[in-house]
Amino acid sequence: MYRRVWVLLEGSKDSRFFHGVLRPVLETKYDLAQAWEYAQEPPKKTTDFIKSIKQMKSDYFLLGDINDSPCVSSKRESIKKKYQQAIDPLSVVIVVKEIESWYLAGVDDASCKEFGIPNLPHTDDITKEQFEKLMPQRFVSVVDFLSEILKKFSVETAKQKNKSFQYFMEKLQINLEKSLT
């Protein structure tokens, strides 16, 4: 049976993370993993896209940063409302706090030393601004730093350092097992 999964992402940093980390992991479990950026699209277009994914009987996840929402449930509910109830709330994964926290989560001790950044035991509360303050001066841009992190990224380290990343990886496994039955 051919299995495809879609990951709906907010923006370019998320796409970079998808291609560098998530896609290789997903394609060990699926025949094809594809990304689609939704944040700049009108809600109706995203709603229609979700409906088409469901009609194809493909799996999907929508990743969204928690940002200023008071909790994961609140953010999940606002996403559900925005997309006219078309989205399955169980397919929504909230990144705590922002995608930069997932990048940092995958940096192990040796890579932290190499980059000259502190080895944070947990990255759940890291914001984009905090991430940028940690960036060593030798990197020309944030994109350059993100690219270097992806070269050293460890999924196992990330699962230990970031609860929302761990949740996504567990959800992926559960989703796969459920669809195989």
Q: What confidence tens digit (pLDDT) does each residue in 99-110 have?
A: 999 999 999 999
The pLDDT of 14-32, averaged and rounded, is: 95
| DSSP helix, strand, coil percent of the chain (3-state; round to 5) | 55, 15, 35
Q: Distances in Å between the alpha carbon of 108 and those of 139, 160, 165?
A: 19, 10, 15
> How many domains, the chain?
1
Angle ∠(54,60,62) on CA atoms, nearest 5: 120
Mean pLDDT taken over the chain: 94
> What pLDDT, on the 0 to 100 scale, is given for residue 174?
74
Neighbours of 147 (CB within 10 A): 13
d(CA 162, CA 31): 27
User: 91 falls in which pLDDT band (50, 70, 90)?
Assistant: very high
- pLDDT, one tens digit per residue, over 123-172 is 999 999 999 999 999 999 999 999 999 999 999 999 999 999 999 999 88
Angle at 45 between CA 39 and CA 47, to 5 degrees: 90
Is the separation of the CB atoms in 105 and 166 below 8 Å? Answer: no
Domain that holds residue 135: 4-180
Asked if pLDDT for residue 43 goes beyond 80, the answer is yes
Q: Give pLDDT, residue 157.
A: 98
